[in-house]
Amino acid sequence: MADRPYTLLSCCMSLDGYLAGATRRRLLLSNDADVDRVDEVRAGCDAILVGAATVRKDNPRLLVRTPARRDARVARGLAPSPAKVTVTGGAELDPAAKFFSDGDVERLVYCASSAVGAARRRFGDRSTVVDGGEPVDLARMGGDLFDRGVRRLMVEGGGTVHTQFLTADLADELNLVIAPFFVGDHRARRFVDDGRFPFNPEHRARLAEVRQLGDVVLLRYALSPRFGTS
Ligand SMILES: NC(=O)c1ccc[n+]([C@@H]2O[C@H](COP(=O)([O-])OP(=O)(O)OC[C@H]3O[C@@H](n4cnc5c(N)ncnc54)[C@H](OP(=O)(O)O)[C@@H]3O)[C@@H](O)[C@H]2O)c1
At position 128, the amino acid (one-letter code) is T
Closest residue CA from atom 3 of ligand 1 = 11
Please indicate whether residue 27, judged by its CB atom, sits closer than 6 Å to ligand 1. no
The pLDDT profile of the chain, 230 residues, written as one tens digit per residue, is 459 999 999 999 999 999 999 998 889 999 999 999 999 999 999 999 999 999 999 999 999 999 999 999 999 999 999 999 999 999 999 999 999 999 999 999 999 999 999 999 999 999 999 999 999 999 999 999 999 999 999 999 999 999 999 999 999 999 999 999 999 999 999 999 999 999 999 999 999 999 999 999 999 999 999 998 87
Atom of ligand 1 nearest to the CA of 29: 1
Closest residue CA from atom 25 of ligand 1 = 88
Sign for the CA dihedral angle at 225, 11, 46, 164 comes to positive
Atom of ligand 1 nearest to the CA of 12: 3
pTM of the model: 0.97
Measured distance CA(92)–CA(78) in Å, rounded: 30
Atom of ligand 1 nearest to the CA of 50: 20
Please indicate whether residue 88, judged by its CB atom, sits closer than 6 Å to ligand 1. yes
